[in-house]
Structure 1
C-alpha cells in the first residue's frame, strides 16, 4: 500500500475550494514558515479528512451510517468539520487527556464526542469497535492513502509558493503529514521528521526497520501521541530515505514561546516541534541552505504562552 504523487495531485483537485491555500512567510533569510495553523479548524488535518470523505462519496463507500474517527484532537476536529460541511454525522473518539479547548470545539462542530482511555491508541480501538458495530465509515488520523494524499497537497503548494528550497522540517506523530509531503516533493527537497524525545515513533521505526509500538508522553502528546508510526509513513521513509531528529520538552516549550514572542504565532506544542529543531541547534542548516518549517497547528490555550 503506497501513495503516489499522482494521488496527491488528484487530492489537490478534489479538495480545492474546501480547504485554504495557506500562506508562507519568509521570517529570516533562508527560513520560511508554511502557516498551516491558519487552515480550517487550526491545523493541516482537513486536507486529508476532505480527501477521505470525498473519495468515499465518489466511490459509493459512504454507508449512510456516518463516520467515526479517533484523535488526540486535531484529526477529530478536521473529521468533524469535513463531515459537517458534507452533511455526514460524525462520532469522534478522543483520549480523556485531550485539552478542553479541543473537546469544546468538537461540540461546536456538531460532532458526538466520546472520551475514552488516556492515549490515542485506546481511542482508536474504541473507534474500530464502533465502526464494526454500526457500519460507519472510518477516517484514520494518519494511516489511510486518501488522508496521506490530502496532507501531501501542502508539498504541492510549497513548490508553487516558494522560489526554491532545500529542506523541509516536519513534526511527526503518526506520520501522515511527512509521508504526504515527501511524496509530493519526491527528490526536489530533503524532508526531515522532527519528534519529541518522549514520543519517538518515527525514530524507533527507523531503528527497528519497521513500525513498532513505543511509549509516548510529554508536552506534545495531545497532537503527536500515536504509539506507532503508520505503515504508509514507513513506506515513504524507505522510498525517500527520510530521517528523524529528536527534541526535548524544554526545547519545544522554548520554541513555542519564541514563535509567539518573535512572530506572534499562537501554536500548540506539537506545532512548535519542527521549529524547535532549529532553535535548539538539533538541526543546523548549512551555509546558504533554504529551510521551510511547517507550522502545523494552533489549537492551544494562549494563556499558557510565556
Structure 2
C-alpha cells in the first residue's frame, strides 16, 4: 500500500472536520533538554481518534444500518461524534472498564451506547455480532487501513507545523496512531513506541515475532488496553524495526501531574504515557538528540468538572 498517498488523501478529506491541534516546544518537566509536544488531546472528543473516524466515513459508503464500533472509550466517542456530524446513526459498545467519564462523553453524543461486562475484547465481539446481524459498518479502533491513514494525518500535520525532532515518542494501545505515524514518516525520523508495563501488546509481539494476546491492567488500560496489537501496526513496526519501551503506572501518573503543574494541561494516563518514558528515563536520548512527544488523549477520569 502507498501509505504516503493514502495519508495525503486523508488529510484533504478530514481537514474541514478536525482541529489543527497546537504544538509547543518546552524546557520543562525537570529534563535537561527541550521537548517538542503535539497537543492532540485538544482534538474533537479529546483524542486523535476523530481523524480515523472521519476518514473512514468520508471514504466509504455508509449503509442504512449505520455504524458500529467497539471502544475503550476514545474511539467510541470519535465515531459517535463523526457520525452525528455527518448524519449517521451509531451503536457503540464499550467495556465497563471504560469508566464513567468516557461513558458519559459518548452518551452526550447521541449514540446508542451499550456497556459490556469485561474488557475491550468483549465489546469487540459484541460489535462484530451486531455488524453481522444488521449490516452496520464496523469501524475498527486501530486495525483498518482507513483508520490508520486517518491517524497518520496527525504526524503529517505536525511536520507542516515545523517539527524538528529526530525522535518521536508515541503511546501504543492497539497501534493505529503509531502505525499512521510510521507509515507517514517511512523511517525519516526515529519512532519510539511507549507502552505501560501492564498492557504492552506491541512489545510482547516484537519479542514473540508475531501478534499474541496479552494481559491488560493498569491506570491506562481503558485507552491503551488492547489485548493484541493490530496486524497493520505489527507489520510496519517489524519492517522499520522500531524501539519499544515500557513505563510504570507510577511514571505515567508523574507525567500526568507534571503536565498539569507545568503546563496546565489535563490529560488522561494514556495521554501522558509517552512523556513518562522521558521523565522516568525509560528512554534516554543520546547527546544532541532532539525529541518530541505526542500527547494523545485528554479524557481524564473522573471528569473534574462533571456535575
The TM-score with structure 2 as length reference comes to 0.95
- Quick one: distance in 1 between partners of 2:127 and 2:134? 10
Question: What pairs up with 1:150-299 in 2 under 5 angstroms?
Answer: 150-299=150-299
The 3-state SS of whatever aligns with 1:223 is helix
1:47 maps to 2:51: yes
Tell me which stretches of 4 or more aligned residues in structure 1 moved more than 2 Å. Answer: 301-304
1:138 maps to 2:138: yes
1:56 maps to 2:60: yes
Q: Is the 8 A contact 1:151 1:180 kept in 2?
A: yes
Count residues with an aligned counterpart. 299
Q: Is the 8 A contact 1:70 1:123 kept in 2?
A: yes
Match of 1:35 among 20, 39, 45: 39
The 3-state SS of whatever aligns with 2:68 is strand
Q: Is the 8 A contact 1:3 1:145 kept in 2?
A: no
Counterpart of 1:116 in structure 2 is 116
Counterpart of 2:97 in structure 1 is 97
The 3-state SS of whatever aligns with 2:229 is coil
Q: Is the 8 A contact 2:36 2:163 kept in 1?
A: no
Alpha-carbon distance, 1:302 to partner: 5.3
Query: What CA deviation, in whole Å up to 9, does each residue of 1:96-121 have, x standing for no partner?
Result: 12111111111111101101122111
Alpha-carbon distance, 1:292 to partner: 1.0
- Quick one: distance in 2 between partners of 1:229 and 1:166? 25
- Quick one: distance in 2 between partners of 1:175 and 1:106? 22
Q: Is the 8 A contact 1:12 1:150 kept in 2?
A: yes
- Quick one: distance in 2 between partners of 1:189 and 1:235? 18
- Quick one: distance in 2 between partners of 1:65 and 1:302? 32
Root-mean-square deviation (Å)? 1.3
Q: Is the 8 A contact 1:152 1:180 kept in 2?
A: yes
Relative to structure 1, is the Cα distance of residues 3 and 201 closer, same or farther in structure 2, using a 3 angstrom cutoff? Answer: farther
Alpha-carbon distance, 1:165 to partner: 1.5
Query: What CA deviation, in whole Å up to 9, does each residue of 1:280-302 have, x standing for no partner?
Result: 01011122211110001110135
- Quick one: distance in 1 between partners of 2:4 and 2:199? 28
- Quick one: distance in 2 between partners of 1:114 and 1:157? 34
Query: What CA deviation, in whole Å up to 9, does each residue of 1:144-163 have, x standing for no partner?
Result: 00000000011111211125
The TM-score with structure 1 as length reference comes to 0.95
Which segments of 5 or more consecutive residues in structure 1 lack a partner in the other structure?
A: none
